[in-house]
Structure 1
């Protein structure tokens, strides 16, 4: 598929579907295939307006740079960047550099929800498999070559791109989970998918088909930590990513990660990470 995009050549297009009588919330807005060579190319995620949207950009040749949450990422061939706007990040071409990539802009509240889940799990730079790259290329080509895009097509293209990134983001977890016994695998998958819900040990033991005592022993032996500690670690890790990757309030992050309220979340976060949630968020402004 990538060869077809190369044959198509450098191009960019803004999609302008006609107004629809029904609101769709994951809409491809524009797409392109570009190269930057020895020129000024720089985007500040806080200077692209106030309306929320996301950008995904896949490197095919050369190298770009992304500075995100205090970390400097090299966007080399095969790397896919996902960022939301507005957000404090910066991506650019180093002086004298060469960067070739294809990209899509997608908007809508469902698009943002999917993007934030991907970011909270995998961060802003993903490594796609060959088949996943083909899917992303096909979506970009469809944006560039479809003469007149309908609202439904724009939504379908937006979903196609984001579900490709979703598969890439959660593939690594699926593979790693297979190293555990099937019963423990089921519990780990359930925890990852339900961090906002109550995750009592008795409930998890039931999912594993074990008594509470046998489950605690089996889980601890397989994973290396008791189930209650594992759940807390996963909640705090998810909360950390949401603090850095989004502008969500502490109250909303608490709700998304299974804490009773914002005050309790802040207390637990401070105890576990030795810093307040908003102080942790402020670290993204620090230099790499």
Structure 2
């Protein structure tokens, strides 16, 4: 499947306009196979419009760079980058460098939900197994070469996300394999997103000292407890903005924020827009 893409050669194809088929949870908007060599190539995740979408980009030759939330990554051969927009990141080609890759642009609520799950577990750089990378290449080749309906393209977009989802979670420790004190804390967090989830309170739930709890949690989950709580609260906020008509103040109380202003500041750091702007995108899509 990779050889078919290589034989086809460099190409870019637009497939569907964002929002054109709002009932599709995964909408394949575009795909491409490109080579950048010794040229200016840089994308800022906060300067690509306000409507949410995601990019999957797999490196075939050379190397790209990614600054994601302040962490620097080298995008090497065999690695796949996953980023959502808008978000505070930038990916680029170093001066004098060479980067050959294929990519997808996807949108839709299910696409973004799956992307957030992958990012929460594995971050923005993944290394799918050889057969997974070949399937990604095959999906890209099909999107570039075949005549298909938006729904048929959606299946290929979902396949690409499913491969990354499998890659992320194949290395993640299942919750049932966690020590009982960590499982207890995770359950407590999910049941009390509107309550007191300070580190000291979570340490008490775990039955550990604060310092020991922070070390154990980070070792088991890959992130500090405060980051996990924030991510779970943001996920709940987005779900309430999408699936309910609750006011910002009500959502703030339900997700542990002091008031609507504090929620708005936290949400803007997370998403690059206000909660109401995020909800407006939902309303435009229906």
The residue number in structure 2 matching 1:252 is 237
Paired residue secondary structure (1:31) = strand
Q: Is the 8 A contact 1:45 1:89 kept in 2?
A: yes
| Residue 160, structure 1, aligned to residue 154, structure 2 | no
Deviations 1:201-252 (A, max 9, x none): xxxxxxxxxxxxxxx9xxx9xxxx88xx759x749647626968x9x85972
Mind listing any 5+ residue stretches in structure 1 that lack a counterpart? 200-215, 265-276, 283-288
Give the distance between the partners of 2:150 and 2:38, measured in 1 at CA: 38
Name the TM-score, length of structure 1 as normaliser.
0.67
Give the distance between the partners of 2:181 and 2:28, measured in 1 at CA: 33
Name the TM-score, length of structure 2 as normaliser.
0.67
Give the distance between the partners of 1:151 and 1:8, measured in 2 at CA: 22
1:3 shift after superposition: 1.6
Q: Is the 8 A contact 1:62 1:97 kept in 2?
A: yes
Mind listing any 5+ residue stretches in structure 2 that lack a counterpart? 193-205, 241-252, 259-264, 271-286
RMSD: 4.2
Give the distance between the partners of 2:185 and 2:169, measured in 1 at CA: 10
Q: Is the 8 A contact 1:120 1:238 kept in 2?
A: no
- The change in CA–CA distance for 1:191 and 1:125 in structure 2 (over 3 A counts) is farther
Give the distance between the partners of 1:28 and 1:186, measured in 2 at CA: 40
The residue number in structure 1 matching 2:227 is 240
- The change in CA–CA distance for 1:238 and 1:47 in structure 2 (over 3 A counts) is farther
Aligned counterparts, 1:1-288, within 5 A: 1-16=1-16, 23-147=23-147, 149-173=148-172, 184=177, 197-198=190-191, 230=217, 234=221, 237=224, 240=227, 249=234, 252=237, 261-263=255-257
Q: Count how many residue pairs are aligned between Structure 1 and Structure 2.
A: 232
Paired residue secondary structure (2:23) = coil
Give the distance between the partners of 1:186 and 1:155, measured in 2 at CA: 39
